Chains A and B, each alone.
Chain A
Amino acid sequence: MITGFLFRALDRKAILVALILLAIAVAVPVSNLMLPVSHPLHVPTHIMALFGKYLTYALLALALDLVWGYCGILSLGHGAFFALGGYAMGMYLMRQIGTRGVYGHPILPDFMVFLNWKELPWYWYGFDQFWFAALMILLVPGALAFVFGWFAFRSRVSGVYLSIITQALTYALLLAFFRNEMGFGGNNGLTDFKDILGYSVQAQTTRASLFAATAIALAIAFVICSGIVNSRFGKVLVCVRDAESRTRFIGYRVEHIKLFAFVVSAMMAGVAGALYVPQVGIINPGEFAPANSIEVVIWTAVGGRGSLIGPIIGAIAVNGGKSYFTAAFPEFWLFALGGLFVATTLFLPKGIVGLVSSGFAKLRGPREADRVEETLQPGTEAAQ
């Protein structure tokens, strides 16, 4: 059963992507740690940190693509799952600070001390254990996605209505996490981390390991997604996207299918958030901002939705561009970024991946090119 799944998962494309990611997971940290700074192939720490962050974004975009590109659920609130995973990791990291906080309190994080909290709130219990935090990284986003999806899909909320309420969800969480009474550090969020699993988060080796872990996590997620997409379940997902009611009429429980995909995707987003936090050193409510979730949609669209490699390329390309532009043209980079989004939708409706594969297909012959376009064109039921 599982072997069948794996067999389907590891098609040529998946093997290639997984190998590249594993190679990156090994090569970059090795180059960072072993090669001398002057070596032309040396990857500086800040570049590694940067790409580590991009890879977590790539994982988030991949998660979104599973529900949007394949199932047609445009979630404008995926940042919420990412942030929840991040907070779960952040809480673990906060508990690891121990007595090294500025007030030297053995249990309470600094922000609780100076706001006069007397004891740790119950929902902070257990986060001193990594296994518990790791469980929560999956469970909290998963549970939220389950409850939310259970109601929304059962009531057949779809299209823009669904998009807007996912946005409402992340916006409500944003406001909630801003509140200092919530006990998550308010606007400042969680920061000033010291250790992860006993290793200093600032140590170069820790950074290298986190980078490797992210690349490996992305590789695993890619294989899982590939397995899902290549299975009959994946085909049904596309059916739901293209003709939801037809799928119902041949006897599929569309709400269960959507719910499953949504929960899996939320968990992947949670993992991405958990890997993101130790690498950037802070998690705060800003991650819940609706604009952040919209950006994830944009990465996916730029890369090419409805293909698994697209969101990864998109996330890295857009964020790389953003990093470059904000330094090179600090006062004009928004024009460049805004222009990029407009240009992508107008001229590359299928994203970078669509451009590349239709380019390849055109080389092979016009007939093939059409087919590629059809595959990558997720028709929307609403459009009929």
Chain B
Amino acid sequence: MTEKLTDALLYLDGVSVAFDGFKAINDLSLTVEHGEMRAIIGPNGAGKTTMMDIITGKTRPDKGTVLFEGEIDLTRHDESAIALLGIGRKFQKPTVFESHTVQDNLELALKRDHGIIATLFHDTSKEQKDRIDEILDEIRLTERRSHLAADLSHGQKQWLEIGMLLAQDPKLLLVDEPVAGMTDAETVETAKLLRRIAGEKAVIVVEHDMTFIRDLDVKVTVLAEGSVLAEGSLDHVSADERVIESYLGR
């Protein structure tokens, strides 16, 4: 472990990655503080998902620094190690374990020993069961706890996935398009849920839905062509000439 370089929870500096010559991320720098909620917007192909891939260890950057809690170099770890460090991720398309029940999904995500011996032989303890009940309550799926995840509606799957993130008890949540395909009412509920989570944990939200971003009312980072175009409140960035240009094209 290196010496602590920064106090920020997540610290990206000068990160670049290219696929077959196409620069998906180009000299990106970003910091997220403990307990902060950050919204990230940007046109298609701006590098939002790739950025998440880099943070969660799915993609290795060609160059640049990615630090977690100021000292852990995330580029040296793989997905499962990063997950265990305390970074949870929700995918763009809701990915839950469809052949398992809602309760099992949460149980599997619960923060505990994931080794082979433990998974083969250990039972779920009373406290762990209580925690699952809490989360079920939080994501409003208590009645459907013994249903298969496959039977859930789209929005419920999104929530279940967020619930799984909570069960992981991470320090940082990466949430990719949490309200895609949701009804307006669900969107509002989701915004509330995320805001409850923030404060305790840091959250990065990627979203296209501007109403939702407005509901969140947090600092916004605009990505375009793989780097940060603008940063600030939603009103501030939407007034920015370059942002308008990059969204509308030339």
- Indicate if A touches B (C-beta under 8 A): yes
Q: How far is the CB of B91 from chain A (nearest CB, A)?
A: 7
If A235-B104, A248-B80 touch, whether A2 touches B98 (CB-CB below 8 Å) is: no
B212 within 8 A of A: no
Contact call B56/A249, Cβ cutoff below 8 A: yes
| A253→B114 CA distance, assembly (Å) | 8
Q: How far is the CB of B58 from chain A (nearest CB, A)?
A: 7
Contact call A238/B80, Cβ cutoff below 8 A: no
Q: Which residue of the partner chain B has the closest CB to A370? A: B151
Q: How far is the CB of A2 from chain B (nearest CB, A)?
A: 7
| A227→B120 CA distance, assembly (Å) | 8
| A134→B79 CA distance, assembly (Å) | 39
Residues of A close to B119: CB separation below 8 A: 231-233, 236, 257
Contact call A5/B89, Cβ cutoff below 8 A: no
Contact call A239/B80, Cβ cutoff below 8 A: no
Residues of A close to B123: CB separation below 8 A: 4
Contact call B83/A250, Cβ cutoff below 8 A: yes
B71 within 8 A of A: no
Contact with A along B141-170 (1 / 0, CB 8 A): 000000010110000000000001000100
What total count of A-B pairs have CB within 8 Å? 96
B108 within 8 A of A: yes
Residues of B close to A252: CB separation below 8 A: 80, 114
A349 within 8 A of B: no
Q: How far is the CB of A377 from chain B (nearest CB, A)?
A: 8
Among A345-384, those with CB < 8 Å from B are: 371, 374-375, 377-379, 384
Contact call B148/A249, Cβ cutoff below 8 A: no
Q: How far is the CB of B15 from chain A (nearest CB, A)?
A: 20
Q: Report, as a range, how many residues of chain A touch the other chain.
A: 20 to 34
B195 within 8 A of A: no
Residues of A close to B97: CB separation below 8 A: 235, 238-239, 242-243, 246
Q: Report, as a range, how many residues of chain B touch the other chain.
A: 35 or more
If A232-B107, A374-B148 touch, whether A251 touches B98 (CB-CB below 8 Å) is: no
If A2-B121, A254-B80 touch, whether A249 touches B98 (CB-CB below 8 Å) is: no
Among A242-299, those with CB < 8 Å from B are: 242-243, 245-246, 248-254, 256-257, 260
Q: Which residue of the partner chain A has the closest CB to B101? A: A235
The one of B56, B89, B108, B116 in contact with A256, judged by C-beta atoms closer than 8 angstroms, is: B116
The one of B88, B100, B111, B164 in contact with A238, judged by C-beta atoms closer than 8 angstroms, is: B100
The one of A4, A236, A238, A377 in contact with B121, judged by C-beta atoms closer than 8 angstroms, is: A4
Contact with A along B19-57 (1 / 0, CB 8 A): 000000000000000000000000000000000000010
Residues of A close to B98: CB separation below 8 A: 242, 374, 379
A228 within 8 A of B: yes
If A232-B108, A371-B148, A378-B99 touch, whether A246 touches B121 (CB-CB below 8 Å) is: no
| A257→B148 CA distance, assembly (Å) | 23
If A2-B121, A236-B119 touch, whether A251 touches B114 (CB-CB below 8 Å) is: yes
Contact call A248/B79, Cβ cutoff below 8 A: yes
B78 within 8 A of A: yes
B233 within 8 A of A: no
Residues of A close to B104: CB separation below 8 A: 235
| A242→B100 CA distance, assembly (Å) | 10
The one of A235, A250, A254 in contact with B100, judged by C-beta atoms closer than 8 angstroms, is: A235
A1 within 8 A of B: yes
Contact with B along A1-22 (1 / 0, CB 8 A): 1101100000000000000000
Q: How far is the CB of B42 from chain A (nearest CB, A)?
A: 22
B84 within 8 A of A: yes
Contact call B116/A233, Cβ cutoff below 8 A: yes
For B56, B96, B121, B164, which residue has the most chain A Cβ atoms within 10 angstroms? B121
B243 within 8 A of A: no
The one of A235, A256, A374 in contact with B150, judged by C-beta atoms closer than 8 angstroms, is: A374
Among B70-123, those with CB < 8 Å from A are: 78-80, 83-84, 88-89, 91, 93, 95-100, 104, 107-109, 111, 114-116, 118-123
Q: How far is the CB of A11 from chain B (nearest CB, A)?
A: 15
| A228→B89 CA distance, assembly (Å) | 28
Contact call A233/B120, Cβ cutoff below 8 A: yes
Residues of A close to B91: CB separation below 8 A: 246
For B91, B95, B124, which residue has the most chain A Cβ atoms within 10 angstroms? B95
Q: Which residue of the partner chain A has the closest CB to B84? A: A251
Residues of B close to A377: CB separation below 8 A: 99
Residues of B close to A233: CB separation below 8 A: 116, 119-120
Residues of A close to B99: CB separation below 8 A: 238, 242, 374-375, 377-379
Contact call B79/A249, Cβ cutoff below 8 A: yes
Q: Which residue of the partner chain B has the closest CB to A381? A: B95
| A242→B151 CA distance, assembly (Å) | 15
Among A214-246, those with CB < 8 Å from B are: 227-228, 231-233, 235-236, 238-239, 242-243, 245-246
Contact call B83/A251, Cβ cutoff below 8 A: yes
Q: How far is the CB of A266 from chain B (nearest CB, A)?
A: 16
A sample of 22 inter-chain contacts (CB < 8 A) reads: A1-B121, A1-B122, A4-B121, A4-B123, A5-B121, A231-B119, A232-B122, A232-B124, A245-B79, A245-B95, A248-B78, A248-B80, A249-B80, A250-B83, A250-B108, A250-B164, A250-B168, A251-B80, A251-B114, A253-B80, A374-B98, A384-B93
B residues at A contact (CB < 8 Å):
56, 58, 78-80, 83-84, 88-89, 91, 93, 95-100, 104, 107-109, 111, 114-116, 118-124, 148, 150-151, 164, 168
Q: Known contacts A232-B124, A250-B164; can you find 13 more A-B pairs with CB under 8 A?
A: A1-B121, A2-B121, A4-B123, A233-B116, A236-B108, A238-B97, A238-B99, A239-B97, A242-B99, A246-B95, A249-B88, A251-B114, A379-B99
Q: Which 10 A-B residue pairs are closest in the complex by CB-CB distance?
A: A251-B83, A248-B79, A233-B119, A251-B84, A1-B121, A232-B119, A233-B120, A246-B95, A250-B109, A248-B80
